[in-house]
């Protein structure tokens, strides 16, 4: 591997680690991700730091918990003053580009990326702001369990329209990187919206699976009195009782989810093939992850918003050229990606250090045959849907503790109880570790201040959103800039058609001198 490799950073949306073969699933078919895992590093216990799209991505890009940035839900502005991975990589001399979803809220729709190849898929304004007065988070989304009872096949979907464009633009950009050595090294983020609900996919992907082999949730639906208070609030907010969900609905939804993952896997294959086509494979580190997971019917819960493993455990697979395959059991999180990327980009040799506090650590030694990272606590938070007070999580070793001032605590020993059905909080057996983890939470967050600010922030944003809707304001949405006159052979300034086409040929063939010059 070169000392300044290209980096291709691929993201899925709402992909739980438990759905992939690299993490033990034997149903989902993902040959390209399997091959990536077989030659790279698989982080077996990677966590998102917030099980909701926009806060998770803000946290990932800055290496800081979302609450430190003032990002509390899916409609919080991501501050432009926050240094991101893209800014750091640009400072290291990388060309930075983004194709696909990143769910930036606010007028800054680049956050350090030098170019963006597509628009986003979700709102950039404050329209999904929670109204805590009525306990109705993101009411405009109208979410319920229709995605479950209406799951199945389709001919087209909004998400297919979007991700097809993302993949096409991304493959073309890799071709252009290959033909333009001056734009290397590059840090290229490609972010898909699959397998986010609704659970629908075309028949060709659906037919890759035998319905009889689709696995059921490990924990069946729980009666209301056995759910924790936060889960009960989620069920009320999103009207989980509005539809009767049958076992057939559950299996059909999981079938579609797996098929959607196979679609993502095919797009990953297209990107990796483009690297090979342009002789970039041996100079490029490939990293694959997701912003959060999906409960997929476990305990009768769906989608995200919870700190249970299905929603917060995500895949993290990284493959560097020439590395030996490696599996890391130490818990890590998306906070670790910023220091990892800038480490791979040669920050130490160039004297570049983070200009604001970051909370992760570099995982780059795991790609160079080095040791696994030393164990340390991993933190996650949830201040959005259903969280009347901040829900805070710490994982240390096999122990996982969830604290919320309004709810009873939860403590799980994940090696013995991976499906989190035995709450050990309050018991004598685990009293010492519970006290230790409670102290870690208290030291890591100002819970009372966070509770006040998450609601005050919502009130400010609701006022601004209502005012913007009532008046005439420029939208914050991003439209990719393209100059058609500079494409293909559209400009005479680029030279003759023969010259332009010759420069675009890869591998490049130097012009042959004429046999009979005139």
Q: Give me 124's structure tokens.
A: 């950039």
DSSP per residue, 273-317: HHHHHTT-GGGEEEEEEES----TTGGG--SSSS-SHHHHEE-EE
* Separation between Cα atoms, residue 363 and residue 63, nearest integer Å: 13
Candidates 45, 95, 103, 111; catalytic one: 103
CB 53 within 8 A of CB 299: no
Contacts (Cβ under 8 Å, ≥6 apart) of 432: none
Are 265 and 21 a contacting pair, CB within 8 Å? no
Euclidean distance between CA atoms 381 and 383, whole angstroms: 7
Catalytic residue flag (residue 103) = yes
Q: How far is CA 250 from its chain centroid? A: 24
Q: Which residues contact 219 (CB under 8 A, 6 or more apart)?
A: 298, 299, 419, 421
Residue tagged active-site, from 48, 53, 366, 404: 53
What is the rounded CA–CA span in Å between residue 444 and residue 167? 39
CA 348 to chain centre: 27
Spatial CA neighbour of 65 closest among 357, 400, 405, 362:
357
> Which residues are annotated as catalytic?
53, 103
């Amino acid at each position: 591997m070169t000392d300044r490799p290209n980096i291709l950073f691929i993201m899925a949306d709402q992909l739980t680690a438990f759905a992939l073969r690299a993490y033990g699933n034997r149903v989902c078919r993902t040959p390209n991700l399997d091959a990536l895992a077989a030659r790279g590093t698989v982080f077996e216990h990677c966590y998102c730091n917030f099980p909701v799209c926009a806060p998770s991505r803000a946290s990932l890009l800055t290496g800081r918990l979302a609450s430190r940035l003032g990002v509390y839900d899916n409609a919080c502005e991501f501050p432009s003053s926050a240094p991101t991975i893209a800014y750091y990589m640009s400072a290291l001399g990388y060309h930075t580009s983004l194709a696909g979803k990143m769910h930036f809220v606010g007028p800054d729709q680049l956050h350090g990326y030098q170019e963006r190849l597509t628009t986003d898929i979700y709102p950039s304004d404050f329209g999904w702001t929670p109204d805590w007065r009525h306990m109705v988070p993101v009411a405009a989304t109208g979410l319920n369990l229709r995605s479950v009872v209406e799951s199945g096949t389709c001919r087209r979907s909004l998400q297919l329209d979007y991700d097809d464009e993302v993949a096409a633009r991304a493959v073309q950009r890799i071709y252009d990187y290959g033909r333009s050595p001056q734009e290397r090294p590059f840090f290229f983020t490609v972010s898909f919206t699959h397998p986010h609900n609704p659970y629908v996919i075309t028949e060709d992907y659906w037919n890759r699976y035998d319905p009889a082999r689709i696995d059921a949730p490990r924990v069946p639906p729980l009666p209301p009195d056995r759910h924790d208070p936060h889960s009960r609030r989620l069920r009320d907010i999103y009207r989980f009782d509005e539809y009767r969900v049958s076992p057939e609905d559950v299996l059909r939804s999981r079938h579609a989810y797996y098929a959607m993952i196979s679609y993502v896997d095919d797009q990953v294959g297209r990107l990796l093939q483009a690297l090979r086509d342009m002789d970039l494979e041996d100079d490029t580190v490939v990293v694959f992850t997701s912003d959060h997971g999906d409960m997929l019917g476990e305990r009768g819960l769906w989608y995200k918003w919870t700190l249970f493993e299905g929603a917060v455990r995500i895949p993290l697979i990284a493959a560097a050229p020439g590395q030996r395959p490696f599996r890391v059991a130490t818990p890590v999180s998306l906070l670790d990606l910023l220091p990892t990327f800038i480490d791979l980009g040669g920050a130490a040799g160039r004297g570049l250090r983070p200009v604001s506090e970051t909370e992760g650590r570099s995982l780059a030694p795991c790609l160079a045959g080095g040791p696994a990272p030393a164990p340390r606590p991993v933190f996650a938070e949830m201040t959005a849907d259903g969280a009347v007070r901040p829900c805070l999580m710490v994982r240390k070793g096999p122990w996982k503790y969830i604290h919320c001032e309004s709810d009873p605590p939860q403590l799980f020993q994940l090696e013995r109880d991976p499906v989190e059905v035995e709450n050990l909080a309050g018991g004598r057996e685990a009293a010492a570790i519970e006290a230790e983890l409670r102290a870690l939470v208290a030291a890591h967050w100002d819970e009372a201040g966070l509770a006040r600010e998450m609601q005050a922030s919502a009130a400010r944003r609701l006022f601004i959103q209502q005012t913007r809707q009532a008046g005439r304001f420029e939208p914050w949405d991003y439209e990719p800039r393209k100059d058609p006159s500079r494409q293909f052979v559209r400009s005479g300034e680029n030279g003759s058609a023969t010259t332009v086409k010759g420069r675009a040929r890869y591998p490049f063939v130097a012009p042959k001198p004429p046999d009979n010059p005139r």
